[in-house]
Structure formats: C-alpha cells, structure tokens
Amino acid sequence: MSDVPEKYQHLQRWAFGDNPALADELLALVLAGKKTATCCSLSQYEDEAWPMPKPGDAWIVLDGAARPRVVIETTGIETKRFDQVDAQFAHDEGEGDQSYAYWRKAHEDYFTRQGRFAPDMLVVCERFRLVEALTPVKENAQ
C-alpha cells in the first residue's frame, strides 16, 4: 500500500521546522487554515541544493514522524532580507499570536539554532495553499 495517492507520488516531501514537535505544530496550523506562508534562509536552499519553489509547484508536507500529511501548492515566492519581512507575511505564517513581534523572535531563534541568523540574511518567503489533506497510513495496516 502506498503512503500517498498515485497522482502525488512524484512530489518532493519535507517537514516544516527543525524538529518533530515543531513539524507537528506547524502542520496543525496548515490543517487549521492559519498557516499559508513559510520562509527559509536562502543559504539553506543553496547549501542543501534544494530547488527554488515557484508558483504552481506542489509539495508533500510530512508530520513529525515523517508521514505524508498534506499537499500544498506554492502561490507566490519572494526573496528578501530577514529585517524586511512585513507584518502581513508574519501573520500569514500563522504562528503564535500571528504578530510580527512573535514571528521575528521565533524565526530569529530558529535561524540561530541553524547557525544562519543575521538581520540582513536573505530569506525565501513562500505563500501556499492547501491542496489536499492526506489520510495517515495506519502503522499496522496490511
């Protein structure tokens, strides 16, 4: 039995965040309709040789246990300095109280954990829409 429908088998897979608990927390925000944006450092795209997303690209988002849970589609992409991300984008990331102050602190901490933070670092700001929630595969399904 496949873990995703055949029409999505070719899609890249990744999880939000840098640990299983954060992946689950951010995934829940997507499922609740609060999270419609995300960002990552441009240097991580370069270091990991990740393809730059573009509008129309679809991705499978994994939960903290690396199970496929949703398909999202990129609707917009912009690269800008961390200190130039605006309050609307921070709100659309859906985290905490959705304020710019919360976003800035959480993302500064996140990028610091990765050893990448600088106020003028370039970040890839991606907007997306939820295409489909995937039914989790049962652990002992036959």
Mean pLDDT, 10 residues at a time, over the chain (142 residues)?
86 95 97 97 90 95 96 98 97 97 96 94 98 76 44
Task: Give 97-105's long-range contacts (Cβ < 8 A, gap of 24+).
Answer: 98/34
Q: What is the per-residue pLDDT for 48?
A: 87
> How far is it, in rounded angstroms, from Cα 140 to Cα 117?
42
CB atoms within 10 A of CB 84: 13
Q: Which fold has domain 6-132?
A: Sulfate adenylyltransferase (3.10.400)
Domain ranges of the chain: 6-132
What is the structure's pLDDT at 137?
60
DSSP 18: S
